[in-house]
Structure 1
Amino acid sequence: MASWVITECGLKPLPRIFPRLRDGLASNSSFPSEVRPLPIFKSYRLVSSLGVSSGFRGNSWALNVSAPLRVTSVGEGDQNRERDSGVNGLEDDGEFDPGSPPPFRLADIRAAIPKHCWVKDPWRSMSYVVRDVVVVFGLAAVAAYFNHWVVWPLYWIAQGTMFWALFVLGHDCGHGSFSNNPNLNSVVGHLLHSSILVPYHGWRISHRTHHQNHGHVENDESWYPLSEKIYKNLDNVTRTLRFTFPFPMLAYPFYLWGRSPGKKGSHFHPNSDLFVPNERKDVVTSTACWTAMAALLGYLSFVMGPLQMLKLYFIPYWIFVMWLDLVTYLHHHGHEEKLPWYRGKEWNYLRGGLTTLDRDYGIINNIHHDIGTHVIHHLFPQIPHYHLVEATEAAKPVLGKYRREPKKSGPLPFHLMGTLIRSMKQDHYVSETGDVVYYQTDPQLYGPEESK
């Protein structure tokens, strides 16, 4: 069952192209400082510029943030950028090619972001934790007090959304954007993630690889595309579960145990091939915390009754899972024009990061800590969530058309449901060959009209 799941994160041993972090390096130095532009040809199918691939694993969890220490310089010199790449990916005929190498470097984007956006304020970060925890317990108290069938559905939606907000704050701890204190990040991350049954270190390590390899067909770990061969070897049940709403929105817990098609490993097992030997103690710690939370939930179910715990915790938990899968999927799929995925020499950290998508969630933006500002987050995960909107606005002139303006949401992001369902009907697999590839549609799954 678990083999069909594709979702937020994962990790397997990869060829190393970035140097391993050495003891003593501060986490805020681990973003890439420069990516040189790549030459571009008029057809994305013929691009042959140099790039870099794969990712790295650091020696110390306390120092690992989800961006490589350095990106190898590739392509032509700075003086040839405009000549080779045009203006923000525009071809000679004026048409934008999303698969073309950008005419700017990562350092150009970083320079456009105000310096204060990089500052991590642990007191401010903790204030969001306190806010969310107070809301979580307040919602539970109100629902238990009224205990009415009208109240419970409203509670489930609200509390599931708050569980998702807790996850995002733990996510910041995993990136090191919560504070500069690795011990504080670890303690808060474990408390937040264990409370919603997420193994903090297991997730942190695999999510780091997602950031380091986003946009790479084989090496990415978050809703990465299936190759045509893997897709066509899926049984009908697995294919239905993977591409038919709402089943993919329930994937995350199964993924934590069994990973994705073509990849093996569990986020709970210290000897899993997700982890290197010096990470195993961290995984044991996270698994122990997860087990303690599971035992607490079992005890509370015995004391309060399983039905009451179902209403108070387990239904909101599945709403949280749906939020997590929905948001992570939509940040990497569903644009009106298909976005590229890369292999081999065509991939590098900058080009991969530029294929992420920003999304507008209406009033949910503030509740889940502006995670919809995803492009800048992917390129610079060290930036605290409360600076992401300002950093995105500052970087827009540099990013140009490589940052797709999200469709504005109403108070609630109902418009994203249509985007999600349409994408699942169209984005099925990519070609086995080619270094710049796009999603293709299986006409047998939804019929010839859906594949157009």
Structure 2
Amino acid sequence: MSAVTTGVSVDSTRVSKTKNLGTLTENPDVKTAINTNGDVFTAPDYSFKQILDAIPKHCFERSLPWSLHYVFRDIAAMFVIGYVGTTYIPYVESKFLRFVLYNVQSFCISLFGFGLWILAHECGHGAFSKYQNVNDFVGWVLHSYVGVPYFSWKYSHAKHHQQTGNMQKDTVFIPWKKEELLKNSEHDDIYEIIHDTPIYAVVKLIGQQIGGLQLYLSTNATGQPYPGWSKIGKSHFNPSSPLFTNEQYWYILISDLGLGLVVLGVYFWYKQLGGLNMVVNWFVPYLWINHWLVFVTFLQHTDPTLPHYDDSEWSFAKGAAATIDRDFGFIGRHIFHGIIDTHVLHHYVSRIPFYNAEEATDAIKKVMGQHYRSTDENMWKSLWKCLRSCQFVDGNNGIYMYRNTNGIGVAP
């Protein structure tokens, strides 16, 4: 067997090294594959216990006052930005400049709004404090405000963490297999199935970033298929959805109640302060928060170097390593609470609070070695690259790597 891509040649009788991504081996217990870039991927062979043992014990400590201070910080920032903008922008004479400034105001509010989403996400994992009732109340309030059903997200997201990278059991960002695309099409050529052009990719990108979150919440898009269930039946808003157990029924209704109260509050906001105030300070930031959530989570789990696994080959240690740390500069580290920079660690131990995650990440790197993925590539560039290069997955030994029909990297 051979593959010729970016100067890498692979055959069954030869051991080749490539860019710090592993070594082909004749050991049948160590599986390898070729990633999109043509580099050799070697499945991790360390245990979850080794990861846990490497993390300093104090990294697991959670402080309720310290976590709450970040909540107050983000809310205060949103209030100050909204107050200053609403007070002074109306005095600007140019309509065009006012339009620009209002959009800058909404953008800045959205950054701290997504910061609140991340803190609510910490609550769902129990990383906010050691008091789960407090976590659930704070998370319910914050998630509801930014338009996400707290308990619904908490329960489905927990399954995602338990089965990350598992083609049969993960709950989000599950790519198509090449054979699935062929099976569901009248064509027998993958190039005939995927008619992708740069213009189509731009339209797809805009739709994904603006509506991807709501499509996922309302229809479980990119999740498991659940045969026999309608798209609405699989909704995160449906307490009888196959995503949830019978014991979680009432919690899903509480999530829906939280969203209903927010919609009611936004309506009174509109009636009391006017449409412009509501749109600039809540609705447009809400759209931006949808974008940030899809932007961050998509790029944490999608990259030409990342694998997926059949259930028979999957393990928790392998799945958690099928993620990547990225760099979004000051915003990512200080406003998005480091969730982008330390996501690999977060998938191994999600109860570690974000303010201890950097130290814990440094510790697990020593165990993960070549299997730790990170990049400082501009994330906007990465978004475009991943959309074009990661269209589906292909593989024949239980490890699946991304492929595409755009001529990028290894051909399908």
Spell out structure 1 runs of 4+ moving beyond 4 A.
40-43, 46-49, 229-243, 448-452
Residue deviations 1:370-402, cap 9 Å, x none? 102111110000101100001111222111111
Once residues 406 and 41 of structure 1 are traced to their aligned partners in structure 2, the CA distance between those partners, rounded to angstroms, is: 21
Once residues 147 and 383 of structure 1 are traced to their aligned partners in structure 2, the CA distance between those partners, rounded to angstroms, is: 41
1:269 aligns with 2:221: no
- Does the CA-based 8 Å contact 1:99-1:340 persist in structure 2? no
Q: Which amino acid aligns with 1:377?
A: H
1:356 aligns with 2:356: no
- Does the CA-based 8 Å contact 2:201-2:388 persist in structure 1? no
Q: Which residue of 1 aligns with 2:298?
A: 329
Residue deviations 1:325-356, cap 9 Å, x none? 01001111124xx3221002210110011110
Q: 1:142 to 1:397 in 2, by over 3 A?
A: same
- Does the CA-based 8 Å contact 2:168-2:311 persist in structure 1? no
Give the alignment's TM-score, normalised by structure 1.
0.73
Once residues 318 and 380 of structure 2 are traced to their aligned partners in structure 1, the CA distance between those partners, rounded to angstroms, is: 27
Once residues 145 and 287 of structure 1 are traced to their aligned partners in structure 2, the CA distance between those partners, rounded to angstroms, is: 34
Once residues 408 and 302 of structure 2 are traced to their aligned partners in structure 1, the CA distance between those partners, rounded to angstroms, is: 20
Q: What aligned pairs does 1:38-77 form with structure 2 within 5 A after superposition?
A: 42=24, 49=29
1:368 aligns with 2:336: yes
Once residues 370 and 65 of structure 2 are traced to their aligned partners in structure 1, the CA distance between those partners, rounded to angstroms, is: 36
Once residues 63 and 408 of structure 2 are traced to their aligned partners in structure 1, the CA distance between those partners, rounded to angstroms, is: 52
Once residues 47 and 426 of structure 1 are traced to their aligned partners in structure 2, the CA distance between those partners, rounded to angstroms, is: 30
Shift of 1:283: 0.7
Q: Which amino acid aligns with 2:359?
A: E
Q: Which residue of 2 aligns with 1:284?
A: 253
Q: What aligned pairs does 1:75-224 form with structure 2 within 5 A after superposition?
A: 97-102=40-45, 104-148=46-90, 149=98, 150-224=100-174
Q: 1:450 to 1:431 in 2, by over 3 A?
A: closer
Q: Which residue of 1 aligns with 2:205?
A: 245
1:344 aligns with 2:311: yes
1:309 aligns with 2:278: yes
Once residues 173 and 340 of structure 1 are traced to their aligned partners in structure 2, the CA distance between those partners, rounded to angstroms, is: 29
Once residues 115 and 304 of structure 1 are traced to their aligned partners in structure 2, the CA distance between those partners, rounded to angstroms, is: 49
Q: 1:303 to 1:213 in 2, by over 3 A?
A: same
Shift of 1:47: 8.5
Q: 1:121 to 1:371 in 2, by over 3 A?
A: same
Residue 245 of structure 1 aligns to a residue whose secondary structure is helix
Shift of 1:229: 5.2
Shift of 1:219: 1.6
Shift of 1:439: 1.3
Shift of 1:99: 3.5
Root-mean-square deviation (CA, aligned residues, Å) is: 3.0
Once residues 410 and 275 of structure 2 are traced to their aligned partners in structure 1, the CA distance between those partners, rounded to angstroms, is: 45
Once residues 267 and 348 of structure 1 are traced to their aligned partners in structure 2, the CA distance between those partners, rounded to angstroms, is: 27
Q: 1:395 to 1:311 in 2, by over 3 A?
A: same
- Does the CA-based 8 Å contact 1:99-1:436 persist in structure 2? no
Residue 346 of structure 1 aligns to a residue whose secondary structure is coil
Q: Which amino acid aligns with 1:208?
A: A
1:390 aligns with 2:359: yes
Which ranges of structure 1 fall in alignment gaps of 5 or more residues? Answer: 1-39, 50-83, 409-414
Q: 1:451 to 1:153 in 2, by over 3 A?
A: farther
Q: Which residue of 2 aligns with 1:64?
A: none
Once residues 290 and 262 of structure 2 are traced to their aligned partners in structure 1, the CA distance between those partners, rounded to angstroms, is: 17
- Does the CA-based 8 Å contact 2:201-2:387 persist in structure 1? no
Give the alignment's TM-score, normalised by structure 2.
0.80
Once residues 27 and 220 of structure 2 are traced to their aligned partners in structure 1, the CA distance between those partners, rounded to angstroms, is: 32
Once residues 246 and 434 of structure 1 are traced to their aligned partners in structure 2, the CA distance between those partners, rounded to angstroms, is: 35
Number of matched pairs: 358
Shift of 1:158: 0.8
Once residues 449 and 166 of structure 1 are traced to their aligned partners in structure 2, the CA distance between those partners, rounded to angstroms, is: 37
- Does the CA-based 8 Å contact 2:85-2:105 persist in structure 1? yes
Once residues 398 and 176 of structure 1 are traced to their aligned partners in structure 2, the CA distance between those partners, rounded to angstroms, is: 25
Identity %: 29
Q: Which amino acid aligns with 1:258?
A: T
Q: Which amino acid aligns with 1:124?
A: W
Q: Higher strand share goes to which structure?
A: 2
Once residues 307 and 163 of structure 1 are traced to their aligned partners in structure 2, the CA distance between those partners, rounded to angstroms, is: 18
Q: What aligned pairs does 1:402-441 form with structure 2 within 5 A after superposition?
A: 402-407=371-376, 415-431=378-394, 434-441=397-404
- Does the CA-based 8 Å contact 1:99-1:339 persist in structure 2? no
Q: Which residue of 2 aligns with 1:298?
A: 267
- Does the CA-based 8 Å contact 1:47-1:346 persist in structure 2? no
- Does the CA-based 8 Å contact 2:123-2:139 persist in structure 1? yes
- Does the CA-based 8 Å contact 1:342-1:437 persist in structure 2? yes
Once residues 241 and 370 of structure 1 are traced to their aligned partners in structure 2, the CA distance between those partners, rounded to angstroms, is: 29
Residue 363 of structure 1 aligns to a residue whose secondary structure is helix
- Does the CA-based 8 Å contact 1:241-1:247 persist in structure 2? no
Q: 1:236 to 1:293 in 2, by over 3 A?
A: farther
Which ranges of structure 2 fall in alignment gaps of 5 or more residues? Answer: 1-21, 91-97, 186-192
